[in-house]
Amino acid sequence: MSAALPEFEFVKTAACRDARVGNCPEVATRVPGVVALRDSNRPGTIVTMTAAEWVALTDAVKAGEYDLSA
């Protein structure tokens, strides 16, 4: 038996709050020590990580490590 996930409050970026934008990442940070991510088109699939892992991920994205156009 697995532990139940905490109740997350997901938010979208300001750009994704526009009704013309359909598919957006959503982030929840209000559970201490946990950052949760999900795709707005697949809200039942949630990926969780620690705050340190979130910082590493966002730093890597900002540095261009995941730039698919390169």
User: Is residue 70 included in any domain, yes or no?
Assistant: no
For the chain, the first-to-last Cα distance in angstroms comes to 43
With bands split at pLDDT 50, 70 and 90, how would you rate the model's confidence at 6? low
Total domain count for the chain?
1
> Which structural domain range is residue 40 located in?
11-61
User: Is residue 20 included in any domain, yes or no?
Assistant: yes
Query: Rounded to whole angstroms, how far apart are CA atoms 25 and 15?
Result: 11
Note the pLDDT of residue 40: 85
User: Is residue 68 included in any domain, yes or no?
Assistant: no
With bands split at pLDDT 50, 70 and 90, how would you rate the model's confidence at 70? low
With bands split at pLDDT 50, 70 and 90, how would you rate the model's confidence at 1? very low
Note the pLDDT of residue 4: 62
How confident is the model over 26-61, as pLDDT tens digits? 999 888 889 999 988 888 999 999 999 999 999 999
Query: Rounded to whole angstroms, how far apart are CA atoms 37 and 50?
Result: 11
